[in-house]
Amino acid sequence: MLEASSILEEKNKELVNYLKTHGYIKSPEVEKAFLETPRHLFVPENMLRYAYVNEPLPIGYGQTISQPSVVALMTELLSPKKGEKILEIGTGSGWQAAILARIVGDEGIVYTIERVRELAKFAKKNLEKLGIKSVRIICGDGSEGLKEYAPFDKIIYTAAVPKIPQFILDQLKKYGKIVAPVGKEDVQKMVVIEKIGKNKLKTTEYPGFFVFVPLKGKYGFK
Ligand code: SAM
Q: Identify the residue whose C-alpha is closest to ligand 1 atom 24.
A: 142
- Is the confidence at residue 220, as pLDDT, over 90? yes
Category of 62 on φ-ψ map: left (φ > 0), alpha (ψ -120 to 50) or beta: left
pLDDT tens digits for range 24-59: 999 999 999 999 999 999 999 999 999 999 999 999
Fold of 2-210: Rossmann fold (3.40.50)
- Is the confidence at residue 145, as pLDDT, over 60? yes
Domains of the chain: which residue ranges?
2-210
Mutational test site, ligand 1, from 89, 93, 119, max ligand atoms within 8 Å of CB? 89
- Is the confidence at residue 3, as pLDDT, over 80? no
For the chain, percent of residues with pLDDT exceeding 90: 95
Average pLDDT rounded to a whole number, residues 179-194: 98
Please list every protein residue whose CB sits less than 6 Å from any atom of ligand 1.
Answer: 63-66, 89-92, 95-96, 113-116, 119, 141-143, 158-159, 212-213, 215-217, 220
pLDDT of residue 75: 99
| 8 Å CB contact between 76 and 27 | yes
pTM exceeds 0.95 for this model: yes
Average pLDDT rounded to a whole number, residues 4-9: 87
- Is the confidence at residue 163, as pLDDT, over 60? yes
- Is the confidence at residue 68, as pLDDT, over 90? yes
- The overall average pLDDT reported for the chain is 97
pLDDT of residue 2: 60
Percent helix, strand, coil in the chain (nearest 5)?
35, 30, 35
